[in-house]
Amino acid sequence: MNKYLKLDEWNIIEEEFNKDNVTSSESIFSIGNGRMGQRANFEEKYSGDSLQGSYIAGVYYPDKTKVGWWKNGYPEYFAKVLNAANWIGININVNGEDLDLAKVTVKDFKRVLNMKEGTLARSFKAQLANKNKISVDTQRFLSIVDDDLGAIKYAIKAENFTGQIVITPYVDADVMNTDSNYDEKFWSEVSQSANNCEAFVSAITKKTAFAVTTAMRYEIWKNGEKLNLDPKVLTREKYAESSVTIDVKEGDEIIIYKFATNVSSFNHPEHTLHQVAKAELDKAQEKHYDKMLAEQVQAWAAKWEESDITIKGDVAAQQAIRFNIFQLNQTYTGEDERLNIGPKGFTGEKYGGSTYWDTEAYCLPFYLATADKKVARNLLIYRYKQLGKAIENATKLGFNSGSALFPMVTMNGEECHNEWEITFEEIHRNGAIAYAVYNYIRYTEDKEYLVDYGLELLMGISRFWSQRSTYSKNLEKYVILGVTGPNEYENNVDNNWYTNTLACWCLNYTLEALEYVKETNPTKYKALVSKLNFVELKEASRWKNIAENMHFPESKELGVFLQQDNYLNKEQILVKDLESKHRPINQKWSWDRILRSCFIKQADTLQGIYLFEENYDIDTIERNFDFYEQRTVHESSLSPCVHTVLAAKLDRMEQAYELYLRTSRLDLDDYNCEVHEGLHITSMAGTWMSVVQGFGGLRVYDGKLHLSPKLPKSWESYSFKVRFHGHVIHVQTFTDKIEISNQGKANVPLLVFGKEYQNIANTTLVITL
């Protein structure tokens, strides 16, 4: 853990320059707009430890898989999110000395991520080796209004000298990924040019041939007046700069406005990229910085109006939830159905930036509740459009008849995960994608999605479960063998309870969906049956038989579901009995020792109880929670949120709050000492779940909204909004009452603590506690 940031409700604030924190802060203070993202690297030269990172949505590289033992069906590559051209660069030289915070004396350093307005600011004073002193104030943002544009305002003041400041804005595409498997650079140059105060660099990715043009234009003001410039330009491979020398005297202030754009062949024809980039720069310069900033502030205000959670009485909790919501909103906007949400978003290279099951299991509920339904719908369309690839993935593993196995990791629908125990065994991901269809429909009532897209996807997944299940004569039950559940500290186990539970639910839900489409749209049903060569009597009866006769491991003596067969054969040590020197076990123990232990990386059996909570009585939930929580080391960012929701359900509010802080401040306080690699974006949606589903008790049962709000001890109140069936419901919980405002045009029936109410349109329901 590393706590060095100041608590503030709307801002992330760093008030001291510490070289040891630079890479961590580069992650934490990252900015994005759904189309691209930028780590909080310094604009000026920095020779210290740094992870340079500029990322463009949809642009990736298939890095050849690096393994010691190749197996049939193994992915040939791992898709890497690419470090793209550095567009923020502005080198500063003062009377012959470069400004480099690793080499100068730094005072009054402050960095502020303004989450309310979507900007990053930094200020400091520096004394260079030549004793010249300067003060610097910077601000930058990636526009969510014009999402191909970024803007920088960089101000320098000469504090104690007369002389010259050389200012060199540049674009540099000669970059590489630190996670390159073979130390390879992934970009080839197309062209570079610089003229007057602008520069263009065009590069293309190897293998995937994504072309990107990065361009910049700048202007310089001195003491409030715009200067006429005569810059010197320099180009070399994948690099272009424009440099000017400014005469200054003590007290003079220089302001550089730099506008930049990244445009790619993902969105524009390749031959138009230079023209499009120029048009973007023209637009930015015409609007100029202040207007672009005003639009940014207004756009972020609209986002916060939809998705903000307020917490009174606990600044740490308030800052944390807003940080998580901010990062989710700047990572994915839902405007483009070709895009998804990588575990690190736009903040780092780890995990390849590809799509995981995290999207459906954790992120979808957030977007369902806080944005127009098209945002969540586009996440589902993303998967539907990759159904063909999912069928190919299953075929590679020996499945047939239209079985679909969606990838564990992907950029384009093709599996690209390079660990066999995940690629071949962690098949529960299929269930998460099916559950997302169900979740979307129950929140939105958009059953047309089921007719047009969802059923076909569900049938492919159910065909997979049907073939993956085998009948055990010994047990006289169906079994699913050789799997890895969400707890990745177990591999190649038989009958993971969560996987079996999810598989049976998928089969039953698909059967329900078949009946619904058959009754409501027989024409569509017949066309789909024909397209998929679906033999209803044979396939549907088998699905039903499997669902009714699946083996579920359990201990009747303990009254708990067992994570998998033979789980109790392991030595049952509790987390509380582990000495601190052994934690985290994924860094201190061999993999062999971890696999033989009973310890659990993240919610597994409890993940299933969380999803299907309505199927279990409170005693069953409590017994399983008590059993598994004591064995869970929470060494996955995805773990604490599920435990928070269940702990709150069980009125374990102190424990729920502790788990909430862990998940919400995971990156801000660097619980796992790994934030320098990037933020845990997808688990941030779990923080939202912790408040809304945990403390708020929000559930959807039988088409109705249920709420059971509870107030953590240190909170005075909290509030959140959710969208449900086209209505916006605002829930505020106080120590003595709950206020539920229906901001829609129709009445909404809902249940609070099990009692049904009519939430009248445009009125507030007040319930006294």
The residues assigned a catalytic role are: 488
Pick the closest to residue 502 from 612, 409, 397, 393 (CA basis): 612
715-749 CB burial, b ≥16 within 10 A, e <16: bebbbbbbbbbebbbebbbbeeebebbbebeeebe
Amino acid, res. 696? G
> What's the 3-state SS for 693-709?
HHHCCCEEECCEEEECC
Helix (H, G, I), strand (E, B) or coil at 417: coil
Q: What angle do helix axes 618-629 and 639-649 make, rounded to 10 degrees?
A: 140
353-382 CB burial, b ≥16 within 10 A, e <16: bbbbbbbbbbbbbbbbbbbebebbbbbbbb
Which residues, including other chains, have CB under 8 Å from residue 80's CB and lie 6 or more apart? 60, 61, 62, 63, 177, 179, 180, 186, 349, 352, 353
Which residues, including other chains, have CB under 8 Å from residue 194's CB and lie 6 or more apart? 200, 233, 234, 235, 240, 241, 242
Pick the closest to residue 694 from 655, 743, 750 (CA basis): 655
Tokens (6 digits) for 317: 């909790």
Q: List C-alpha distances in Å: 417 to 76, 392, 426.
A: 9, 15, 11
Tokens (6 digits) for 748: 């909404």
Which helix H or strand E contains 479, and what residues bound it? strand 477-479
Q: List C-alpha distances in Å: 365 to 255, 681, 688.
A: 44, 14, 9
Pick the closest to residue 441 from 363, 518, 358, 364 (CA basis): 364
Place of tokens 């009692």: 755
Distance CA 423, CA 414 (A): 11
Helix (H, G, I), strand (E, B) or coil at 755: strand
DSSP 651: T
Helix (H, G, I), strand (E, B) or coil at 677: helix
Q: How many CB atoms lie within 10 A of CB 26?
A: 25
Q: What angle do helix axes 497-520 and 536-548 make, rounded to 10 degrees?
A: 140
334: left (phi over 0), alpha (psi -120 to 50) or beta: left
Pick the closest to residue 444 from 722, 710, 651 (CA basis): 722
Pick the closest to residue 332 from 147, 161, 520, 481 (CA basis): 147
